[in-house]
Amino acid sequence: MRSTTIPWVVWLLLGLLVYTHLHALSSTGYTGYCVVRVYADRGVMLECRLSVEGAPANITLRVPRDAVYVSVSDGGDPAPYSYDEARGLLSFTTFSGRVTVRVYSLGLTSKEGAIWRLQLGTVDLETLLALPGEALVVSVEPRDFGVRLVNNTLHLVFKPGSTVRVEYTLIPTTQPAPPPGQVAPTTTPTTVEETSEREKVAPTEGAPTTRLLLVLGALALLAAARALLLRARRGASRLVEVATVEEALDERDKLILETLKNVGEATAPTLQKATGIPKTPLYRKLEKLEKMGLIESEWRGGAKVYRVKLEKHI
């Protein structure tokens, strides 16, 4: 019986393939920071920017659970990912080593009376937290946090490993009535927004640490400045919000909006037949679009009917 031997070249190729695969899946270190924006309608946008060593590499990042919007950008291009909603784990492969992750969640805030509570849990990276402009801080945990002013917005800065809990209240704001004969300006609903180029400010070393008293004092000082900046920022921020709504929508979101725009009104079963989107993802998409202010719903004859709310955003 003739024996066969595998040429050494084959063994070498197999070894290179195994090494490349293991290198791509090895546990790789990464650095970076996260910016968390809290909106007055309880939505929270988390944006993390990572610098990964040893790319290509697999990364698993702890993110909020049950998010309504997730995106991963690798080197500026959309990248595939796996999102475990139950455990709040986001997994993806980076080839460039420059990653931007965005997660929009409605489950990080809760309200009891006039007090809002934000619970981020334990953060893996340095985290910059921006509360709504009309927010007044009540308590912050942990107490060894810092304060940073970025583009006239006060951010609370937390170290990696911190378990973040913040309580705050929203101060009611009123707008003056428009002069006779003029229509009151409509406000653009707060939506998932992407950080503009001028806001991409990486954290710097040596951020000052302070106590809650410093935060309250800084908020008081910024209140006067905010009144002067409001007029200049209002027009620009509205353009940013409208422009970035499109970026927060995926193909299924757009398909639902286009279908509602064509038919006028529809129930979830009707939309499922028209779009082919499975039942569970469809209801999540409808909740997301409704929270973003793009559609509205009402109960009619025991069924919930959906329709487009603001066509100017589509």
Can you give the length of the chain in residues? 314
Average pLDDT over residues 270-292: 88
290 and 167 assigned to the same domain: no
Nearest CA to 52 out of 20, 28, 77 is that of 28
Has residue 282 been placed in a domain? yes
Q: Which CATH number belongs to the domain containing residue 268 in this structure?
A: 1.10.10.10
Residue position matching structure tokens 């973040």: 164
Query: Using omega within 30 degrees of 0 as the cis cutoff, is the peptide bond preceding 80 cis?
Result: no
The mean-pLDDT minimum among 118-122, 145-149, 163-167, 188-192 falls in: 188-192
Candidate from 129-138, 223-232, 303-312 with smallest mean pLDDT: 223-232
Q: Taking residues 124-146, what's their average pLDDT?
A: 89
Q: Are residues 256 and 239 both part of a single domain? A: no
- Is the bond into 78 cis (omega within 30 degrees of 0)? no
Domain enclosing residue 147, as ranges = 30-189+207-245
The pLDDT of residue 209 is: 43
Across the range 259-286, mean pLDDT stands at 89
Mean pLDDT of the chain: 75
Q: Report pLDDT digits (tens) over 75-101.
A: 989 999 998 888 888 999 999 889 999
Q: Is the pLDDT of residue 307 over 50?
A: yes
Q: What share of the chain is helix, strand, coil (3-state, %, to 5)?
A: 30, 35, 35
In a domain, residue 196? The reply is: no
More confident site: 211 or 109: 109
Segment among 45-49, 98-102, 131-135, 206-210 with least mean pLDDT: 206-210
pLDDT for res 16:
57
Residues 158-168: tens digit of each pLDDT: 999 899 999 99
In this structure, is residue 25 part of a structural domain?
no
What's the token pair of residue 83? 């999102």
The pLDDT assigned to 231 comes to 47
CATH number at residue 149: 2.60.40
Least confident of 56-60, 84-88, 171-175: 171-175
The tally of domains found in the chain comes to: 2
Say whether both 74 and 157 belong to one domain: yes
| pLDDT given at position 100 | 94
> What's this model's pTM, rounded to 2 decimal places?
0.52
